[in-house]
Structure formats: C-alpha cells, structure tokens
Amino acid sequence: MKTARPRKYLFLFLAAATVGLALYNNILARRALTGRPLGRFVHIGGTKLHFLEAGDGQPLLLLHGNGASAEDFTTSGIFDRAAPRYRVLAFDRPGFGMSTRPAGRPWTAAAQADLIDAAVAKLGIERYMVVCHSWGATVALEMARRHPRSVAGVVVVAGYHYPSPRLALAVSAVPAVPLLGTVLRHAVLPSLVRLNWNWGRVWRPRSCQGGSVRSLMEMSPGAARWYTP
C-alpha cells in the first residue's frame, strides 16, 4: 500500500502535467493561426481543406512536404510570382496548417491524392498542373497516376519519389498511434520543438532564385512531358 500511493500521486501528477501542456500548446497554436493569411476552405469527404488562391489562367496546384504548410510557397515567393500567369491554389494537406485530418482512416498518399483531386473538382477545375515539394511529390505522382485526365503535368522539386524503409519514417509514424499519438501531438512534441526553436532557423525557406522562378513560370501544359525508363 505504501508503494502504491506514491505511484498513484506520480501518475496523477504526470496526467495533470500532460493536460496542462496540451491546453497551453493549444492556446499558443490558436494565437499562431490568427496571424496566418486566411484563405478559403473546401469541405470534402468529412475533411476541411484550407488553401490559398490567387491569379487567373491555367490552374496550378502547389503541394508542400511534411512538417510544412501552404505558406512554404508564399514565403519562398513562388506563389506571388506564379499568380500573374496562373490560377494558383496552394493547399494545406490533411493534418497540416489549417486543414483537418479526421482520425480512423489511413492517410496514405493515394488517399490524399483522391481527396485533393475531389476538392479541386468541387471548385470547378477539370484540369490542372501540380508543383510539389518533398513528400508532396508522392501525393502529386499518385494524383497523376490515379487521375490522368485531371493532371496536365507535374513539376517535382526535391521530391521524395521512392519511399523506402528508414528509421526516421518509423519514428514519424509514432504520432499516428491511437492515444499515444494524441499525447505526443498535443503535449510533448510542440514543447520539444520550442526547446529547439533556434534549430528551426536552419530550415527557414530562402527566396527563390530568379532563374528557378523563371523556369517554372515558362512552363505550360503543352511543354510538360512524361518520361518513362
């Protein structure tokens, strides 16, 4: 009995600390989101997708990688430079930025590809090009494979084309574990990120070089080509 009581108090303390951290992180997250450039939302399949939109012309979708959001393309300058020639839509993928990610289903690249294609169709867009970065390339290539009539072309920027078994992937999958993942996402991981905030400056996006932006702007659906080995 004497041993069980300290353990009980320790458990209660850890539970209270976890709840407190989760509430504190939630408040900070809400404050951060209030400063974001709010775009539009499209509801599809029980998911609320947030996206930024500007410009007219040929539709151009921008898909970010992991640990990022649609703002990757605004801070880098691609979004604003593409807008004069394209109808640009930069999506927050499910679970990133301001887009929701309902639990209870596997959010594979194929699932995200189908969801985003359906969202674009709901916006009245029948055919579009995609610019993708990192893990967003996996989603974009699935979109091209599964919806060839919709995808006019894909521009891959440092894409993660061929998923392979890696320790980093196994670690990043832990937050998806029921209950344990909830605690990690809302209480533990945000606090760890703030402790190492200065390291985040290493990954801060830099402005695009003029040549790279011009190459992107000069692309058109007719210029896109598919190559197979």
**pLDDT per residue over 68-94, tens digit each?**
889 889 988 999 999 999 999 999 999
Report the pLDDT value the prediction gives residue 26, as an integer from 0 to 100.
78
For 178, list phi and psi in degrees, rounded to 5. -55, 145
* Total of domains in the chain: 2
Range among 27-31, 103-107, 130-134, 187-191 with highest mean pLDDT value: 130-134
Bridge partners (DSSP) listed for residue 128:
151
For residues 108 and 196, membership in a common domain is answered with no
Mean pLDDT score, 137-158: 94
Domain extent, residue 187, equals 172-200
- Whose tokens are 């894409």? That residue is 159
For residues 149 and 64, membership in a common domain is answered with yes
For 47, list phi and psi in degrees, rounded to 5. -115, 140
| Last-in-domain residue among 161, 186, 216 | 161
